[in-house]
């Protein structure tokens, strides 16, 4: 399949093959061109499949290394230490190429070739992605299975899948925006409620599953951290999440790394805030006990 695509691409457009990768799932041919148009890809695919349907013979020959015909065969050259005959694979009337690999006896054995499109390659090169033979059938089977699953989930036909997903994406974006606005409002209200109390505690602890870093920082900004030590967490109550320790600079610098260690996480901080990710949110109680002990032993001057 690679030989056929390479030969036709050069004949039709002058695109030389500079390298290739024949993989289990899909294969790639690197072409010496900055780009290929959709029309060129379509024409190339149509042409290679015409050759397959024409049942063009593939013949394997062995030539002597000094045979003048060697000069007419497409190759990257023989190794300096090569000895013995040279194996040449001919696609009758299309290509003659040095190769030591296994080949079909007739192009019809390839069944079909599907060009999946191009990807950006090295400088001024284009990677042409393709499937051949049974890989095309497997790809169709996988695509059909995905299509059936989407039809069931989206409750519409395959032709409407893209529009349905676009509508879902728009809905999700709107919900996320509304959710973010509500979280911001809740954060402000939580902070105002704390500040409205006649006697404010030196330690403020809060966990909210739906929150994020901005949610925690809004609370810290609204409450103020000059006098109050804040320990805020968001995410799963027993597994992973985010944390924020905010308060007097000296206290946070001293306690931050210990809090991160207790929560099985990592963090960093500056100017009275230490925040990061945690993997053991179930140990929040231990952190709260640590902070309570710190406050109870803190001198009035601190």
Is residue 125 included in any domain, yes or no?
Answer: yes
- Radius of gyration in angstroms for the set of CA atoms belonging to the chain, rounded to a whole number: 33
Is residue 129 included in any domain, yes or no?
Answer: yes
Q: Indicate whether 273 and 179 sit together in one domain.
A: yes
Q: Indicate whether 40 and 96 sit together in one domain.
A: yes
Q: Is the pLDDT of residue 302 over 50?
A: no
| The pLDDT of residue 73 | 80
Q: Which of 136, 162, 195 is the last residue of a domain?
A: 136
CATH of the domain at 63: 3.30.980.10
Q: Is the pLDDT of residue 237 over 70?
A: yes
Give per-residue pLDDT as tens, 160-214. 999 999 999 999 999 999 998 998 999 999 999 998 988 878 899 999 998 899 9
Q: What is the residue-averaged pLDDT of the chain?
A: 91
Give per-residue pLDDT as tens, 122-164. 999 999 999 999 999 999 999 999 999 999 999 999 999 999 9
Q: Which of 80, 114, 136 is the last residue of a domain?
A: 136
Is pTM beyond 0.75? Reply is no
Q: Which of 116, 136, 156 is the last residue of a domain?
A: 136
The DSSP line for the chain is -HHHHHHHHHHHH---EEEEEE-SS-EEEEESSS---HHHHHHHHHHHHHHHHTT-BEEEEEE-TT-GGGGGSB-S---TT--S-EEEEEETTTEEEE--S---SBGGGG--EEEEEEEE-STT-EEEEEEETHHHHHHHHHHHHHHHHHHHHHTS-GGGHHHHHHHHHHHHHHHHHHHHHHHHHHHHHHHHHHHHSSS--SEEEEEETT--HHHHHHHHHHH-SSS-EEEEEEE-SSS-EEEEEESSHHHHHHHHHHHHHHTT-EEEEETTEEEEEES-GGGHHHHHHHHHHHHHH--TT-
Is residue 180 included in any domain, yes or no?
Answer: yes
Interval 253-265 mean pLDDT? 94
Overall domain count for the chain: 2
Give per-residue pLDDT as tens, 99-127. 888 889 999 999 999 999 999 999 999 99
Q: Indicate whether 204 and 261 sit together in one domain.
A: yes
CATH of the domain at 220: 3.10.310.40
User: Could you tell me the residue range of the domain that residue 43 belongs to?
Assistant: 1-136
| The pLDDT of residue 111 | 96
Q: Indicate whether 4 and 115 sit together in one domain.
A: yes
Q: Indicate whether 186 and 286 sit together in one domain.
A: yes
């Amino acid at each position: 399949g690679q030989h056929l695509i390479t030969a036709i691409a050069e004949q039709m457009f002058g695109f030389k093959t500079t390298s290739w990768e024949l993989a289990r799932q899909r294969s790639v041919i690197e072409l010496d061109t900055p780009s290929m148009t959709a029309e060129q890809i379509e024409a190339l695919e149509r042409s290679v499949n015409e050759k397959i349907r024409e049942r063009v013979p593939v013949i394997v020959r062995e030539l002597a290394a000094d045979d003048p015909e060697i000069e007419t065969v497409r190759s990257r050259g023989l190794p300096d230490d090569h000895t013995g005959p040279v194996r040449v694979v001919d696609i009758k009337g299309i290509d003659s190429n040095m190769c030591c690999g296994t080949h079909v006896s007739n192009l019809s054995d390839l069944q079909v070739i599907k060009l999946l499109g191009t990807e950006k390659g090295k400088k001024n090169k284009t990677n042409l992605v393709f499937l051949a033979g049974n890989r095309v059938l497997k790809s169709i089977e996988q695509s059909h299975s995905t299509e059936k699953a989407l039809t069931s989930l989206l409750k519409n036909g395959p032709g409407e899948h893209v529009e349905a997903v676009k509508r879902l994406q728009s809905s999700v974006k709107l919900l996320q925006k509304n959710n973010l606005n509500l979280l911001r409002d809740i954060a402000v209200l939580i902070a105002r409620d704390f500040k409205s109390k006649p006697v404010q505690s030196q330690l403020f602890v809060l966990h909210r599953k739906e929150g994020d870093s901005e949610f925690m920082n809004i609370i810290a900004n609204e409450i103020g951290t000059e006098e109050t030590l804040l320990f805020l967490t968001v995410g799963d109550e027993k597994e992973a999440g985010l944390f924020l320790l905010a308060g007097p600079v000296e206290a946070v610098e001293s306690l931050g790394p210990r809090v991160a260690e207790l929560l099985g996480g990592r963090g960093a901080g500056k100017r009275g805030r230490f925040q990061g990710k945690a993997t053991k949110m179930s140990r929040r109680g231990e952190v709260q006990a640590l902070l309570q002990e710190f406050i109870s032993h803190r001198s009035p001057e601190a």
